[in-house]
Structure 1
Amino acid sequence: MSMIPPRISGGDALVRALVAHGTELVFGIPGTHNLGVYRALAEQGVKHVTSRHEQGAGFAADGYARVTGKPGICLTTSGPAVLNAMTAVTQSYSDSVPVLLISPGMPLHHPGRGNGTLHEVRHQSAALEAAIGYSIRVHSVAEIPLAVAQAFAHMTSGRPRPAHLEIPLDLIDTVDRVSDVPPVLVAHPPADAVTVAAAVRRLNSAERPGFIVGGGAKGAAEELTTLAERLGAPVVSTANGKGTFSERHPLSIGAGLHLKAVADFVAECDVVVATGTELASTDLWHGPLKFAGDLIRIDVDPAQMITNALPDYRLVGDAQATVAALNQRLGNGKPGEEAAQRAERWQRLFRKHARAQGAAWLPLVETVQDVLAPGAIIAGDSAMACYYGTLSNLLLERPASFLYPTGFGSLGYGLPAAIGAKLGSPDRQVVALHGDGGVMFTLPELTTAAQERLALPVIVCDNGGYGEIRREMVERGDPVHGVNLPGVDFAKVAKALNCHGVTVSTQDKLATALRKAFTADRPTVIHVVGDLAGS
Structure 2
Amino acid sequence: MIRQPITPRTGGEAVVRALAAHGVDLLFGIPGTHNLEIYAHLAQYGIQQLTPRHEQGAGYAADGYARVTGRPGVVLTTTGPALLNAAAAVGQAYSDSVPLLVVSPGMPLRHPRQPTGLLHEMRSQTEALRGVAAFSHRVSSVAEIGPAVARAFTLFRTERPRPVHLEIPLDLLGSAEACPEPPSAPERPPAQAAADTLTRAAQALRDARRPALILGGGARGAADQCLALAELLDAPVVTTANGKGVVAEAHPLSLGVALHSPEVQRWLADRDIVLAVGTELAESDFWCAPPELGGTLIRVDLDPAQMYAGQPADIALVGDAATVLGALHPLLAKAERPTPERAAPERPAVTALRAARDLPTRQRDARWIPYLQAIRAELAPDAVITSDSAMCCYYGALPHLPVPPEGRYLHPTGFGTLGFALPAAIGAKAACPDRQVVALSGDGGFQFTAQELATAAQYGFPLPVVVFDNGGYGEIRDEMAARGDEPVAVDLPSPDLPALARAYGGHGLRADSPDALARALRAALVTPGPTLIVIPEERS
* Superposed pair shares fold, TM > 0.5: yes
Gaps (5+ residues) in structure 1? none
Q: 1-side partners of 2:344 and 2:134: how far apart? A: 49
**Counterpart pick for 1:362 among 353, 365, 369:** 369
Asked if the contact 1:245–1:399 (Cα under 8 Å) also holds between the matched residues in 2, the reply is no
Pick which of 300-309 and 196-205 moved more. Answer: 300-309
Partner of residue 449, structure 1: 456
Gaps (5+ residues) in structure 2? none
Give me the identity figure in percent.
Answer: 50
TM-score, length-scaled by structure 2:
0.96
**Counterpart pick for 1:409 among 409, 412, 416:** 416
Q: In the alignment, residue 417 of structure 2 is paired with which amino acid?
A: S
Q: Residues 300-354 of structure 1: CA distance to partner in whole angstroms, max 9, x if unpaired? A: 1111221111221111111111111111311289989723323333333334456
After TM superposition, give the deviation of residue 106 of structure 1 in Å: 0.3
Partner of residue 220, structure 2: 218
After TM superposition, give the deviation of residue 231 of structure 1 in Å: 0.6
Q: 1:81-480 residue pairs with structure 2 within 5 A? A: 81-180=82-181, 181-331=183-333, 338-353=345-360, 355-398=362-405, 401-480=408-487
Q: 2-side partners of 1:320 and 1:443: how far apart? A: 38
After TM superposition, give the deviation of residue 64 of structure 1 in Å: 0.6
Q: 1-side partners of 2:316 and 2:343: how far apart? A: 29
Asked if the contact 2:94–2:163 (Cα under 8 Å) also holds between the matched residues in 1, the reply is yes
Q: In the alignment, residue 12 of structure 1 is paired with which amino acid?
A: E
Q: 2-side partners of 1:400 and 1:115: how far apart? A: 51
Pick which of 513-522 and 320-329 moved more. Answer: 320-329
Q: In the alignment, residue 230 of structure 2 is paired with which amino acid?
A: A
Q: 1-side partners of 2:52 and 2:327: how far apart? A: 43
Q: Residues 273-310 of structure 1: CA distance to partner in whole angstroms, max 9, x if unpaired? A: 01111111111123322222111111111112211112
Q: In the alignment, residue 312 of structure 1 is paired with which amino acid?
A: D
Q: 1-side partners of 2:363 and 2:268: how far apart? A: 20
Q: 2-side partners of 1:479 and 1:399: how far apart? A: 45
Asked if the contact 2:422–2:439 (Cα under 8 Å) also holds between the matched residues in 1, the reply is yes
Asked if the contact 1:141–1:176 (Cα under 8 Å) also holds between the matched residues in 2, the reply is yes
Asked if the contact 2:244–2:409 (Cα under 8 Å) also holds between the matched residues in 1, the reply is yes
Q: 2-side partners of 1:399 and 1:63: how far apart? A: 16
Aligned residues: 533
Q: 2-side partners of 1:139 and 1:232: how far apart? A: 56
Q: In the alignment, residue 289 of structure 1 is paired with which amino acid?
A: P
Q: 2-side partners of 1:462 and 1:377: how far apart? A: 22
Asked if the contact 1:379–1:414 (Cα under 8 Å) also holds between the matched residues in 2, the reply is yes
Q: In the alignment, residue 55 of structure 2 is paired with which amino acid?
A: E
Q: 2-side partners of 1:312 and 1:356: how far apart? A: 39
Asked if the contact 2:271–2:294 (Cα under 8 Å) also holds between the matched residues in 1, the reply is yes
Q: 1-side partners of 2:61 and 2:258: how far apart? A: 24
TM-score, length-scaled by structure 1:
0.97
Asked if the contact 1:379–1:432 (Cα under 8 Å) also holds between the matched residues in 2, the reply is yes
Q: 2-side partners of 1:20 and 1:351: how far apart? A: 50
- SS at 1:196 equivalent: helix
- SS at 1:142 equivalent: helix
Asked if the contact 1:276–1:299 (Cα under 8 Å) also holds between the matched residues in 2, the reply is yes
Q: 2-side partners of 1:163 and 1:36: how far apart? A: 21
Partner of residue 526, structure 1: 533
- SS at 1:502 equivalent: strand
Query: What's the RMSD between the two structures over aligned residues?
Result: 1.7
- SS at 1:104 equivalent: strand
Asked if the contact 1:67–1:400 (Cα under 8 Å) also holds between the matched residues in 2, the reply is no
Q: In the alignment, residue 231 of structure 1 is paired with which amino acid?
A: L
- SS at 1:55 equivalent: helix
Q: 1-side partners of 2:440 and 2:167: how far apart? A: 34
The structure-2 alpha-carbon separation of the partners of 1:29 and 1:277, relative to structure 1 and needing over 3 Å to count, comes to same
Q: Residues 382-411 of structure 1: CA distance to partner in whole angstroms, max 9, x if unpaired? A: 000001000001100126711111011111
The structure-2 alpha-carbon separation of the partners of 1:114 and 1:400, relative to structure 1 and needing over 3 Å to count, comes to farther
Q: 2-side partners of 1:300 and 1:476: how far apart? A: 41
Q: 1-side partners of 2:235 and 2:355: how far apart? A: 15
Partner of residue 77, structure 2: 76
